[in-house]
A = this chain, B = another copy of it.
Amino acid sequence: MGGLTVLAALMQRLPDQRFIYLGDTARLPYGSKTSASVVRYADQAAQCLVERGVKALVVACNTAAAVALPSLRNRYPQLPIFGVVEPGAAAAVAAADESGVLVLATETTVLGGAYQKCLLRQRPALRVFARSCPLWVTLAEQGGGSQLDELSLTVIKTALRGFIETSQTIVLGCTHFPVFRSHLLHLLGSDRVIVDSAQTTATVVAAAVGQAALHEQSTRSVDPMQMTQFLATDGVDRFRRVGEYFLGQVLPAVEWVDL
C-alpha cells in the first residue's frame, strides 16, 4: 500500500504517463519477511507487470528494493528498473551535516543494511543510524497518519527512543512513512530535514523517462487517475479503501490478480 505515495509523486511529475500499479496485498507486509521470500514475491510481481508490457519498472517498496533489485535487474537486463533506496540515500547524503543521517525503515530493510551501505558508499565518513519501526506500517494503513493523536505519537515516540538526538537528517526508508511527516516534525523539532524516498524516487524516474515521454502523444486531456490501472493480490475493496487514504482521492476499479 505504501507504494502509493511513490505513485502519487510520479503522477504529479509525469501527468502524461500511463501507470500500472500492482499492490501485493495478499502477502503484505514485506517488512517483517525474510529476504528470500521478498525476492521471490518481487520476481512474481515483476513478471506480472512485464507481461502487461511496462516500459519501465519502479520497485516502490523500500524492503523489496533493498533486497530484490539485483535479481530483478539480472532477470530483465533491457528494462529500466528503479529502486527507492538509491534516490533516498543520495538526497540524504546531499542534505546531511556532521550529525549524520537517521534511517527509519522496516525490520527487514534495516537488518539488510541496504541504506547504510548505500549512504556509506557515497560518503564513507558519514555517521549513519538506523532504526526499525515495526508498528508504523500497520498504523499507517489504519489511518494513523491523519492526526497527531495519542496513539500515533506514542507509537512513533517509542520507536525514536534513544535516537531523538542523533541526526539532523532523517530518511523515511519505507514508503508508508511519509504519512507521519508532521508527527516526526512535531516530536523532533521543525528544523529537521526529512528525506522522503517517494519524492526523491519520483524525481529520478521523471528525469530518466521524462525525455522520452516528450516525444509521445500527449494524453493530458484525460484524468491521470482514470488512465492508471490498479492491480491487487488480495481484496479489491480493502485496497480501494486504504488506497483512497494514501492517494487522497477515489480510486477507479481495481483488478484482482493471482501471483
Contact = CB atoms under 8 A, between A and B. Distances in A.
A34 B238 contact: yes
A26 interface: yes
A37 B26 contact: yes
Contacts of A141: 32, 134
A234 B108 CA distance: 13
Contacts of A158: 150-151
A135 B34 CA distance: 21
A142 interface: yes
A147 interface: no
A227 interface: no
A33 interface: yes
A150 B135 CA distance: 14
A212 interface: no
Contact of A138 (B26, B138, B150): B138
Contacts of A26: 27, 33, 37
Interface string A7-27: 000000000000000000111
Interface residues of A, number: 22
A139 B135 contact: yes
Contacts of A99: none
Contact of A134 (B36, B138, B150, B155): B138
Nearest to A111: B238
A44 interface: no
Interface string A22-47: 00011100001110110000000000
B33 A235 contact: yes
Contacts of A138: 32, 134-135, 138
Contacts of A150: 154, 158
B139 A33 contact: no
Nearest to A235: B34
Contacts of A134: 138, 141-142
A257 to B, nearest CB: 12
Given A32-B141, A151-B158, 7 more contacts: A33-B234, A33-B235, A34-B235, A37-B234, A135-B138, A135-B155, A138-B138
16 contacts: A25-B33, A26-B33, A32-B138, A32-B141, A33-B235, A34-B238, A134-B138, A134-B142, A135-B135, A150-B158, A151-B154, A151-B155, A151-B158, A154-B154, A154-B155, A155-B155
